[in-house]
Structure formats: structure tokens, C-alpha cells
Chain A
Amino acid sequence: MSKIVEGLYYTNTHEWVKVEEGFAFIGITDYAQESLGEIVFVELPEEEDQVEAGEEFSAIESVKAASDVLSPITGIIVLINDDLEDAPELLNEDSYENWIVKVEIEDKTELNKLLNAEEYKEICE
């Protein structure tokens, strides 16, 4: 059973969002990293890029698969986690500790459309 952390927002495409002071940290869920298998590369966007809710901003590659990461919310990327450039396997080790981007949230109401831990759990079952 893959891990789901309480208190985060989730998408049905297996991304999570953690909100801190008007900023959103975005990553992929444990379920996502498990299905991908050994992650070998994370294609990161550039800081100051604009992201749209539901649109891809990163791609994650494992040995035998590739998956786009969709942004759960709209906003400007203020920080990328460049540790992932040299150590993409961090996402396998702990996908909740290792966020991919930090985004300045444009419209907080978008968060209401996301899933809570309970709802996300149902999707993974």
C-alpha cells in the first residue's frame, strides 16, 4: 500500500500540493513513484515560468517509462528543486519530502477543486 500524507492536496493524476504562506510546493505521490519504478531523470522547468492548472510543467523518466507532471494550480514558478538534477532517485526514496517546484499561487480558489487525502486514497485503491 502506497503512502498518503494527511493535510496535503492531491490530484487524480498523482501530484500533491503543500501550501505554505501563499506558495505551493508541488511533487508526485508515493503511488506515482511506485508505478514509475526506478526514476532516472527529472526534466525541470525554469524559474519564472508560468504554469497553468492541468498543464504539464515537468516530465519524469524511469528506465522503461515516462510521465508528464501536471500542475495542480496556476501561478509562477519561484523555485525549482535542483537536487533532482543530479539525484532523481530522491523521488523514489521519499516523494513527499522531495518537492519538484515551488509556485506562487495566483488563485487560491483553485485549491478547492483538488482532492484531500481521503478522496485521493479512494483513487489509488
Chain B
Amino acid sequence: MFKYLPHTQKDIQEMLEVIGINSLDDLFSEIPSDLLGHELDIPKAHSELEIYKRFADLAAKNKYLIPFVGAGAYDHYTPSVIKHIISRQEFLTAYTPYQPEISQGTLQYIFEYQSIISELTGMHVSNASMYDGATATAEAMFMATNVRKRNKILISKTVNPNIINVVKTYALYHGLEVELVEEKDGITNIEDFKNKNSNEYAGIIVQNPNFYGIVEDYSDYRNILDETKGLFIMNHDLGGLTILKTPEEYGVDIAVGDGQTLGIPLSFGGPYIGYLASTKKLMRKMPGRICGVTKDSEGKRAYVLTLQAREQHIRREKAVSNICSNQSLMALFVTVYTAVMGKEGIKEAQANSVNATHYLYEKITKLPKFNKVFKHDFFKDCTIETSLDPKMINQKLLEQGILGPLSIGKYDESKKNLLLFSATEKRTKTEIDKLVNVLEAL
């Protein structure tokens, strides 16, 4: 007997009799015997007590470092309320809302989530969420090339290189071409964009704040794209949208990004959540699920998955994407975070992060071996030049329990002296000063 398997010997016998067979082995008699009987070499069954012991041992092998890096994963504060709500079995143990009459809970929070994404981005419609910001960006590329029936896309070099890599991978196998637009002084080189832009391209993908943390001004992009009927895709930090100019205000067609900045724990990179929002015109070309409002037969307001004819379970090979459901529980996470932090709370958390990052930037760049490099203003990541070896810096910081900056040289050899730092609202002055002191001593 085993705790997750409830059958008694008597149950098994009775069931076999109803089926009309003699033994459990008879249930597998059609499987060729060559395929059966492999002796498994896996760990023995652990009792719950042994499980806790095992994981305590594993936990002891991890060493927490205070992060001074963001670059796509930010150490924001997570209010206690969220964990309790998303652990409710009604949310946690349900599957995707196939039966709307008993899934109104899931459908309602998806509707609230979509409303929040629409409010933050300014876009008309959001889908029910995707895996992460990078894959959502790749999906946006598919959507754009599909809508425009063009197989090339532009992407700015100031987009996070990991996102560029994911976009390139998706493009390669799908048969699309990705052309990079050059960077100049930490922002997209608009002259290079103008030169490259043509009606062979479905559009351009940019990021805000960009990889270097800089808040780019994309005001001129809409007009340039209109000349070639190109689509404007912007990857934007979700939390930052409480403060920064929205994709809609820039005239964006598809807004995407990661929702991790709304309090989702770092969790070594996942689960996070990707968002994708678009215009009314492109609504039926969007990938993923969409929830809508309707009425039941008695006239009560209710929620339902809608526009399903776009999806793979109906369109099969003609579907706009192969995604099946959504990153639902993380959509609930983002929704509850937004509810509890509210209109003012998110803004305050983001603003405090910006302030902390600027404090860090000013302090570090006063040190002799660290310099300012770009002239543009930035959000909660900042790029600093150093004359020291980045590897050595991070090693020294590690010894002090600090997770140091990302070395940009990892992605671009010509930028091997650039470091990407970040601070969130969780970082105190004492912590930042300690970081600065360690750096000063190098």
C-alpha cells in the first residue's frame, strides 16, 4: 500500500472480476513482451520525513546572494496575501476552463488579468498570458509576419540578448529572417532602422526600458513604420508601465513582455509569465486564449473563453500558435499583486527601485575604476564601465554574499568592460553602501 494509491487487495479483486480478467498483468497483455520487464534504476520511495530531510540537505547546498542584478529578473517584494490566495485548491488544482459553469473563478481572474494588462499597456486586448516575456516576443514575431505575410523582421540590438536569441531560434526553424538594427550610445540607432526598414519586413521589435536599462524615446517609430505598413512590436517591463509612456501612446501594434516584475519570486528563472496585448484590429490574429464577458441563460453576467476558432484544438495545423492554455496561476499571481499593491503601490515599488538604482549608479561611478558610459536616462537597470575584470569583481562580491552585476561581455565581446547593475525597492542604503565599499576596495 502507498499513500497516493487507495486500492485495497479486495478492491483490486472486485475490479478485475468486473473487467473479466485474472490479474493486473492481463491489462498489459497486448504490449510486446520485449517492451516489458525493464528493471528500474531509480531512488527508493521516500517517506515524508525523508523527503524533508533530503530537501534540507539540498537547500544547504544553495547559498543566497543579495542580488544587485536584474536584466530580466527583478527582486521585487511579494506581499504575503498572494501566496495564500494562489495556494487555494480551487485555483491550484483546476485545469483550463473547459466547462465554464464550474470554472467561473478561473475565467473571472483571467478577465481581471486581461483588464490589468490592457490598463498598463493601453492596448485594446490582452490574451490570457504566455510562458515568459521572451517566448511572448517570439509569438509576436509570428503574429506580425503572419498578418503582413512577410517573412522578415527587424529587432533592435538594444533588446535583451536572451530575448533576441529566443526570437532567432523561433525564426530559424519557422523559416523567418531576423535582421538586427544597430545600437548607438546605448539606444537603437534610428538612422540604421530607417535605412533597413522596407516593405520586406513585417515590422520591428524594440524593448523599453532596453537591455542597458535606458528608457528609449520611440516617438518617431510609428511614422517610419507607416511608410512600409510595418508592425510595431514593443517588449516592455510590466511594472514600469505604471510610470512610463505606454506602448499604446507610442502607437504600438503588439505589446509583449514579462510579468515577473509584478512581484513574482525569482525562483531561479521560472515560472514567470509572458503577456501579449494588441489592437482591436489584430485581435483575431492573436495567439493564446482570450476570455470574454457574456450572459448565461438567466441573464447573469458570466465569463467564457472566446474567439477559440484561432486555437490549435480547432484549427490544428492552421492555428496561429501551438500554445494550448496559458500560464494561468501566474496570471492570478499578477492579478492579486496588482489588487493588493493597487494603483499607488506598484508605482511606489517601481519608483523606489528607480531611486535605489540611481543612488547606486551615482555612488559607484564616483569610484575611480568605474565610469559612466551612456548619456541617456535609465530605469531600474544601469550600465557602468569598469577598468577591472568583471569576473574578478563578481568573485569578490560572491565572497561577501552579494550577487554582482551581469557582465555584458558575455553577449558582446566588444562590450566586455560594461556591467549591468540593478536595485529594487528591497535594497536598503546599507546594502548598497556595502556593495560600494567592496567595489571601492578592488
Contacts and interface: CB of A to CB of B under 8 A. Distances in A.
A41 B284 contact: yes
A117 B309 CA distance: 30
A98 interface: no
B59 interface: no
B102 interface: no
A65 to B, nearest CB: 6
B7 interface: no
B308 A63 contact: yes
Contacts of B308: 63-64
Does more than half of chain B's interface fall in helix, strand or loop, or is it mixed?
Answer: helix
B52 to A, nearest CB: 47
A94 B314 CA distance: 25
Contacts of B391: none
Interface in B338-393: none
Contacts of A63: 308-309
Interface in B174-230: none
A15 to B, nearest CB: 18
A43 B315 CA distance: 14
Contact of B314 (A40, A41, A66, A68): A66
Overall SS of chain A's interface: strand
A62 interface: yes
Contacts of A64: 308-309, 314
A43 B314 contact: no
Interface string A51-94: 00000000001111110100000000000000000000000000
B419 to A, nearest CB: 50
Interface residues of A, number: 10
Highest count of chain A CB atoms <10 Å: which of B309, B310, B318: B309
A62 B315 CA distance: 12
Contacts of B315: 66
Nearest to A68: B318
Contacts of B307: 41, 61
A65 B311 CA distance: 10
Interface in B18-45: none
Contacts of B310: 61, 66
Interface in B300-322: 307-310, 314-315, 318
Contacts of A65: 309, 314
Interface string B121-148: 0000000000000000000000000000
A41 B309 CA distance: 9
B143 to A, nearest CB: 15
A107 B288 CA distance: 42
Contacts of A43: 284
A64 B314 CA distance: 7
Contacts of A62: 309
B255 to A, nearest CB: 23
B251 to A, nearest CB: 22
A46 B310 CA distance: 20
Contacts of B318: 66, 68
A66 B313 CA distance: 11
A43 B146 CA distance: 14
Interface in A16-75: 40-41, 43, 61-66, 68
Nearest to A60: B309
Pick from A40, A65, A66, A68 the residue with the most CB of B within 10 Å: A66
Given A62-B309, A66-B310, 14 more contacts: A40-B309, A41-B309, A61-B307, A61-B309, A61-B310, A63-B308, A63-B309, A64-B308, A64-B309, A64-B314, A65-B309, A66-B309, A66-B314, A66-B318
Interface of B: 284, 307-310, 314-315, 318
Interface of A: 40-41, 43, 61-66, 68
- Give the top 4 A-B pairs by smallest Cβ distance, nearest first: A61-B309, A66-B309, A66-B314, A66-B315
22 contacts: A40-B309, A41-B284, A41-B307, A41-B309, A43-B284, A61-B307, A61-B309, A61-B310, A62-B309, A63-B308, A63-B309, A64-B308, A64-B309, A64-B314, A65-B309, A65-B314, A66-B309, A66-B310, A66-B314, A66-B315, A66-B318, A68-B318
